Amino acid sequence: MKLGCKLYGCMGFLSLLGFIGVFTDERMFLTFFAFAVDFEYLFVKPDEMMNEYLNKSAAFGFYCGTITMALGTLIYYLFVMHDGAIALKNGLAWGWVVSILVHTIMVVSFSIKERLGAMNDK
């Protein structure tokens, strides 16, 4: 059992935050239900290729998110509002969004390529 795939599957627990949006007026929390699809990886038998593309996607997502956070904080501080705390909060939010998007898009593209390759082998 490879740890990387199981950790990715545990990201599905973030979908529980979506219930905050159900039981309160904070509707933005409903977007966390998108993480429910990650539960699928708890039941997948991982191979070396899957672990490799999960690691590659996670690393690239981290770097993109960190760069976005730094640039977003700087741009927001210099051009929008000269409040460091608000600029940092916005930079962190954008960095998190970008890292999740990049990671998800890369995982989906790698898994589609892997499935297409498996179909071509038959």
Q: What is the pLDDT of residue 1?
A: 47
pLDDT over 70 (residue 102): yes
Examine the domain organization and report whether 34 and 93 are in the same domain.
no
- Same domain assignment for residues 85 and 120: yes
Whether residue 42 contacts residue 88, with contact meaning beta carbons closer than 8 Å, is answered with no
Where do we find the tokens 């529980």? 16
Residue 19: count other Cβ atoms within 10 Å of its Cβ.
Answer: 13
Same domain, 86 and 97: yes
Can you give the pTM of this predicted structure? 0.77
Give the range of the structural domain holding residue 16, as residue numbers without chain letter. Answer: 1-46
Task: Report the number of distinct structural domains present in the chain.
Answer: 2
Judgement on whether residues 116 and 63 belong to the same structural domain of the protein: yes
Asked if pLDDT for residue 121 goes beyond 70, the answer is no
pLDDT at 119 over 70: no
